A = this chain, B = another copy of it.
Amino acid sequence: MNSTEIIQSASDTASSCPFASIPPIFWLVPIASIVALGFALYFYKSMKKEEAGTEIMQKIASHVRAGAFAYLKQQYKIVGIVFVVIAAIFAYLGWVAGIQNKWVWVAFLTGGFFSGLAGFFGMKTATYASSRAAWAANHSLDKGLRVAFRSGAVMGLTVVGLALLDISVWFLILNAFVEDASASKKMVIITTTMLTFGMGASLQALFARVGGGIFTKAADVGADLVGKVEAGIPEDDPRNPATIADNVGDNVGDVAGMGADLYESYCGSVLATAALGAAAFMSDPATQMKAVLAPMLIASVGTILSVIGIYCVKVKSGANSKQLLGALGKGVNVSSVLIILSSLAILKFLNLPNVWGNWAAIIVGLVVGILIGKVTEYFTSEAYAPTKRIAEQAQTGPATVIIGGMGTGMFSTCYPVLLIVVGTALSYMFAANWDISNMASGLYGIGIAAVGMLSTLGITLATDAYGPIADNAGGNAEMSGLGKEVRRRTDMLDALGNTTAATGKGFAIGSAALTALALLASYVEEIRMGIAHGVGGGGKADAAVAALGKLGKTLENANLVDFMNVYEVHLMNPRVLLGLFIGSMMAFLFCGLTMNAVGRAATQMVNEVRRQFREKLGIMEGKAEPDYARCVEISTKAAQKEMIIPALLAVFAPVLVGLVFGVAGVLGLLAGALAAGFVLAVFMANSGGAWDNAKKFIEQGNYGGKGSEAHKAAVIGDTVGDPFKDTSGPSLNILIKLMSMVAIVMAGVTVACSMF
């Protein structure tokens, strides 16, 4: 019995069971979720069993943990209020005004909840892991790697596990409750509804990234500028009042923020692809079901393969840096090769139309992700020419370092963009069987390429999350006076993390672009649903149906191009052009707000640290304890206050543009934000990374080494780069997707209420 028969027979079964229409293969999704969460729990428990180090190490770790949780509690309070207000608005629009899907408010809340939960678990693990990883590194390098990496894996597996849980539970619930005579229409309703929980996840992720990013960089910049540059004490020196805040920041920004961010990308890519699949194959319910399941199954199998990959990361005791890198690489490579093979098996089993084309799209996605990672590494690692050149420019002072880093970052955008262009074109053309007019299949191909890229997120995120854990372990070792050797080892682990993080960033940024492209197409599907909601009211929805009728189409059989025609989404329409301008501006405005927030908070931090050094004379001699709590408080307050406006801006922009310029304006806005935001994000991430490593290159003894004028210049470059690469840059990815998600959720309102 092949898959079609299985699926067919499943839908033939009596409808007594609400899940009868769901093919058995679907159950792989919840199973993968349980596997991932189970292993996450197991790794967490075995990490907790490790020795937590000396008393002072535990004390420092508990300080950091307390600060991190205090921050997160504050953050979730504010975020909670925002979520309740927005959910109430959605409930009103759905139940009272009746211009929207009624379940959006629940989907919104659960998306936000799970995304926040992923961040919370990741951070909890990280704060327990730091002293343990430091203590393990005290024993040996390879033991340090194992503890840090397995802790990172907790985060990776929690994110994918929760995402698959959320997806499978919702899929089952909606299958049971959505009622529609036509099976294929039902599936469109299910997938478009599921897509809306992406908005909750995105909004949570934005708060986490922006709030966490401001927190961590205010502390980092403040600690570096006064500690390293002015007072000349090393990083993480316990005499520095901002050092605890700096370590708290690593946890709330780099760990919790990243967790929420990638949770969102992962769900977004799977759900957007499912929605595109449901739309593309509406004419044939059996094929439609396969197209909806394919992204979920690829993600599920990828999750199981990630666990296998994690087990492949092993090093012999006494391994050197290269062997460590090889071990990490092996884990990722094993998972990637296996997912390529398994995805062919999945597609073959499902017997989707154009198996080879879709498989090729998946491979394209993975390869592009890897290549973007390589390019990122080339432009940001001190092993290559661009970063070395920036270090060289440090000899002529901070101004030339900054100019050089900016220039390099801007120049470096061309490669990722060209890779995305080629990757998108190829995945589209493969999936469309080389017929460019076969738009529905081609766009599905772009979605499936994004899913392919993110399928092994369980392990790629582990290699990414492990970096901040190693960094924190180093901080802990430094503060508790464990000695130079441990610090050297944690530095090695951290440096390793920087290299793998480059790959991770490649996947994050590449998948964001592809997912956003897929979301653009999904938005048009939501417009179809939005029109359906409004039909019969005598308003704009009826006018749209009439316009489709003039093209000889109905609301059901109209394709994407018909909607483009009806809403005039072409480049001579002033609504589209002005939307493009606003979208492009949004990316810059958002960065401006977050950069300014970091600048303001860092200035406060610098003044506070200077004040403490000045007023408490015993600090520098190590006789008086600095007031760490005050610095944590400054960062917390600044982050809480400054994250609101950028987040609300991202929520309101698509709504307002929709109300004024309609569907055409919104699509212009999203396309403009995507095109400009993606390039801006790459620029900021690469400039920031290059400055960071140019400084490291000098610290290795080049151009005068530590303490030289060149080093001081490079530290200034690094400090400017901090908000680039850890606040504004990564938030842009979420901004782009959040705006798409808001547009998707508000599609009904846009259809019904636009002015022009």
Contact = CB atoms under 8 A, between A and B. Distances in A.
B569 A403 contact: no
Contact of A225 (B397, B667, B683): B397
Contacts of A380: none
A239 to B, nearest CB: 19
Contacts of A561: 568, 570, 572
Interface string A575-587: 1111011111101
Nearest to A413: B588
A403 B723 contact: yes
A432 to B, nearest CB: 9
A756 B668 CA distance: 23
A245 interface: no
Given A399-B221, A425-B578, A719-B399, A668 B571 contact: yes
B397 A585 contact: no
A413 B672 CA distance: 15
Interface stretch (A336-344, A479-487, A595-603): A595-603
Given A582-B417, A592-B412, A574 B675 contact: no
A424 to B, nearest CB: 6
Contact of A716 (B397, B580, B723): B397
Given A400-B221, A436-B574, A602-B403, A581 B393 contact: no
Contacts of A417: 581-582, 584-585
A679 to B, nearest CB: 5
A4 B70 CA distance: 78
A1 B578 CA distance: 42
A229 interface: yes
Interface stretch (A8-16, A197-205, A321-329, A516-524): A516-524
Contacts of A446: 574
B403 A716 contact: no
Interface string A391-419: 01100111110111011111111100110
Contact of A593 (B411, B593, B720): B411
B400 A581 contact: no
Among A513, A580, A680, find the residue whose CB has the most chain B CB atoms closer than 10 A: A580
B400 A602 contact: yes
A106 interface: no
Contacts of A428: 574
Contacts of A436: 574-575, 756
Contacts of A672: 580, 675-676
Contacts of A678: 581, 584
Contact of A574 (B411, B424, B589): B424
Interface in A210-233: 221, 225, 229
A392 to B, nearest CB: 8
Contacts of A396: 225, 602-603, 606-607
Nearest to A559: B572
Interface string A501-533: 000000000000100010011001000000000
A253 B409 CA distance: 25
A591 interface: yes
- Chain B CB within 10 Å, residue with most, of A399, A574, A585, A588: A399
A599 B676 contact: no
A443 interface: yes
Contacts of A575: 436
Nearest to A587: B679
A570 B564 contact: yes
Contacts of A408: 592, 596
A364 interface: no
Given A400-B606, A417-B581, A720-B402, A569 B571 contact: yes
A558 interface: no
B399 A580 contact: no
Contact of A570 (B418, B570, B587): B570
A425 B592 contact: no
Contact of A397 (B229, B399, B402): B229
A666 to B, nearest CB: 10
Contacts of A572: 439, 443, 520-521, 524, 560-561, 564, 569
Contacts of A520: 571-572, 577
25 contacts: A225-B397, A396-B606, A399-B716, A400-B603, A400-B606, A403-B598, A403-B599, A407-B597, A410-B592, A411-B592, A411-B596, A413-B588, A413-B592, A436-B575, A442-B574, A443-B572, A446-B574, A524-B572, A570-B570, A571-B671, A580-B672, A581-B679, A588-B683, A672-B676, A716-B716
Report the 5 A-B pairs with minimum CB-CB distance, sorted nearest first: A410-B592, A411-B592, A407-B595, A407-B596, A564-B570
Interface of A: 221, 225, 229, 392-393, 396-400, 402-404, 406-414, 417-418, 420-421, 424-425, 428, 436, 439, 442-443, 446, 513, 517, 520-521, 524, 560-561, 564-565, 568-572, 574-578, 580-585, 587-589, 591-599, 602-603, 606-607, 667-668, 671-672, 674-676, 678-680, 683, 716, 719-720, 723, 756
